[in-house]
Chain A
Amino acid sequence: MRRLLASELLRFRSRRLVAVLLGTALGGSGVGAVIAAWQSTPPTAEVRAAARTQAEQEFRRCMNTDFGEEFEGSLEDLCRADAGDPTHYMPSHLALVDLPEILEGASSLTSILGLVIGASFVAASWQTGTISTIFSWEPRRLRWFGARILVLAAAVFVMIVIIVVFLSVGLALAAMLRGSTIGVGSQWMSDVSTTALRVSLAAAISAVIGGAVAAIGRHTAAALGVVFVWTAVLEGLVRGLRPLWTPWLLGDNLVTFLSWRTMEFQVSASESFTITPGRAIFVILGYMAVVMSLGFISVRRDVQ
């Protein structure tokens, strides 16, 4: 198995699409950081001091307010994160403390990146006819499919980690030069790390789904089309027509996983549902299991 993994990894590394997409993503991150720095006006010392004072006042006011309803976490955490954040009282600028939200926002792009790489990595073997050559070297198709999906998931994960780290470093430099680093501490560091991990995992999951769907259709464009129709069209229809089925939709569970917050939906006065992060993982794993099983069944079909 180790040799098969090494072979698949070499093939992944040799792919021009991977190099082009990685280069584009890194270039885009660099350009994005430069634009963010360019458009940001760094707050002066006076503005910062005034914002801190106002944040402290708003924090105290928040702590003395009776909200009259239950919410997640402690009141102090809520007030500190919301009313007590000094950046809320400064003119708009690049605040490094917002990095976790920026990374979450970038996750749709990184997931699409993973999907495209996954579909192309698997389908290319059929489209170029090289699958005949591969199977005449490794006829155990389950083993081959497993190795390819494993390499795909690991390689896309590492690739997205590199992109996220590059983007984070770029934005950190931009914030230090032309923004603010207020609120940056150990808690922030932990938030950034876990968000980066989830963003990379979501891209790896997308890659696996794209790869497995591509194994069914044996064509990159067909696989991308199917995933698009499923997530953008079918799931949209289900949300509108059968809202109570929403907790079982891939898109909503991926969003919950990425934000790592419990999502609550009120469908009507009497009907509501929640998606917890734990449940989201369970549903996502279910989707992966189904699509990989279908992919494996398809891989066993005749190779013409």
Chain B
Amino acid sequence: MASVIEIEGLRKEYRRLRRLPTVALDGLDLEVPEGGVFGFLGPNGAGKTTTIRCLLGLVAASAGRARLLGSDVPRGLSGVIRRVGSIVEAPALFPRFTGRRNLEILARIDGIARDAVDASLDRVGLTARADDMVRTYSLGMKQRLGIAAALLKDPALLILDEPANGLDPAGIVEVRDLLRSLGAEGRTVFVSSHILSEVQQVADRVGILARGRLVAAGSVHDVLASGRGARIAVRVHDLEAGRLALVDAGIAATIEGDLLRAAGPPEEGERVARALAAKGLYPSLLQPDEGNLEQAFLELTGGDHQVGV
């Protein structure tokens, strides 16, 4: 599978007068394969937006190399930018122009027909407010207009930085469905977020960034497994007796809430059941415990910074 984004050893330092330079990216390596939704996760300040800015040529990298759709950034960016739609941080559009006029101005840069503007507005559900000034829009509407702008080019690659920011629950569901459908159309959607539950529901693959470095990447399942060893969740009426039974059988186990968590892959389920039964304990629940992306994320990033769920 070809990579639409290739990043090797990317480093970005922000130099400030009379202060030590701030390292936003510290030798980032990342490959994003073509097609589907790729979740780019990291706590606030991890370097997600800086990575996107480097990819779009908005900031110059201090070192390293980035390629977008096979072209070096920033030198070859102009050759591929027509196939890349993006939102960087909050969608930046002219507040005193109407939503439609904002899109028309962008559309003219690429000679995109007015029909495409209408279609984009329609796709994000903004047709009714298209002729109102952007400054009268809610944050969610501005996000949707930003997505409409990104979709104008009918892009092969969409780079969306925190697209669910400011959206109400209904808006979040809409964006989630939109991301899924865009991925299903064969486009690559690169979506950065610190809202893990959102990404887990739409992403095929994820990359986790912490302090400017990639700490895990792969399919959601692989990343979940890499956060810590696989476990099996067990419910028995006497948790402490159950824990001792498992430890006696050579299975590491801990009590978490009203569950026992036994270390081991799902295939070890039978052994766990036998060990408990041998002590007269019969589980009312026994299932693989994949955990969630949030747990994996916290473990991989050392639990630093704020994380939205």
Given contacts A128-B94, A132-B92, A139-B77, contact A7 B106 (CB under 8 A): yes
Residues of A within 8 A of B57 (CB): 135, 139
When chains A and B are docked, how far (Å) is the Cα of A4 from the Cα of B89?
Answer: 24
Residues of B within 8 A of A139 (CB): 56-57, 74, 77-78, 81
Any A CB within 8 A of the CB of B86 = yes
Interface segment out of the listed A8-16, A80-88, A95-103, A167-175:
A8-16
Residues of B within 8 A of A129 (CB): 90, 92
Which of A3, A7, A11, A133 is in CB contact (< 8 Å) with B92?
A133
Of A11, A15, A139, chain B has the most CB atoms within 10 Å of the CB of A139
Taking a contact as CB atoms under 8 Å apart, the answer to whether A10 and B92 are in contact is no
Taking a contact as CB atoms under 8 Å apart, the answer to whether B92 and A130 are in contact is yes
B105-121 Cβ-contact flags toward A at 8 Å (1 or 0): 11011110000000000
A125-148 Cβ-contact flags toward B at 8 Å (1 or 0): 000111111111111100000000
Any B CB within 8 A of the CB of A72 = no
Any A CB within 8 A of the CB of B84 = yes
Which of B81, B88, B108 is in CB contact (< 8 Å) with A6?
B108
Nearest CB in chain A to that of B106: its residue: A137
Any A CB within 8 A of the CB of B296 = no
Residues of A within 8 A of B89 (CB): 132
| Chain B nearest Cβ from A144, distance in angstroms | 9
Nearest CB in chain B to that of A141: its residue: B57
A161-184 Cβ-contact flags toward B at 8 Å (1 or 0): 000000000000000000000000
Given contacts A7-B109, A14-B105, A130-B94, contact A303 B59 (CB under 8 A): yes
Taking a contact as CB atoms under 8 Å apart, the answer to whether A302 and B109 are in contact is no
Taking a contact as CB atoms under 8 Å apart, the answer to whether A136 and B88 are in contact is yes
Nearest CB in chain B to that of A7: its residue: B108
| Chain B nearest Cβ from A122, distance in angstroms | 14
Taking a contact as CB atoms under 8 Å apart, the answer to whether A133 and B93 are in contact is yes
Taking a contact as CB atoms under 8 Å apart, the answer to whether A10 and B108 are in contact is yes
Nearest CB in chain B to that of A302: its residue: B59
When chains A and B are docked, how far (Å) is the Cα of A128 from the Cα of B93?
Answer: 7
Taking a contact as CB atoms under 8 Å apart, the answer to whether B78 and A4 are in contact is no
Residues of A within 8 A of B109 (CB): 3-4, 7, 134, 137-138
Nearest CB in chain B to that of A4: its residue: B109
Residues of A within 8 A of B105 (CB): 7, 10-11, 14
Taking a contact as CB atoms under 8 Å apart, the answer to whether A135 and B56 are in contact is yes
Residues of B within 8 A of A138 (CB): 78, 81, 109
Taking a contact as CB atoms under 8 Å apart, the answer to whether A128 and B92 are in contact is yes
Taking a contact as CB atoms under 8 Å apart, the answer to whether B58 and A130 are in contact is no
When chains A and B are docked, how far (Å) is the Cα of A85 from the Cα of B108?
Answer: 55
Nearest CB in chain B to that of A6: its residue: B108
B145-170 Cβ-contact flags toward A at 8 Å (1 or 0): 00001000000000000000000000
| Chain A nearest Cβ from B130, distance in angstroms | 14
Taking a contact as CB atoms under 8 Å apart, the answer to whether B58 and A303 are in contact is yes
Given contacts A128-B95, A302-B58, contact A136 B81 (CB under 8 A): yes
8 A–B contacts from the bound complex (CB under 8 Å): A3-B111, A7-B105, A124-B94, A128-B94, A128-B95, A132-B92, A137-B81, A139-B78
Interface, chain B (partner A; CB < 8 A): 53, 56-60, 74, 77-78, 81, 84, 86, 88-97, 101, 104-106, 108-111, 149
Q: With A4-B109, A136-B56 given, can you name 18 additional A-B contacts, CB distance below 8 Å? A: A7-B105, A10-B105, A14-B94, A16-B96, A128-B93, A130-B92, A130-B93, A130-B94, A131-B92, A133-B92, A135-B56, A136-B88, A137-B81, A137-B110, A138-B109, A140-B78, A302-B59, A303-B59
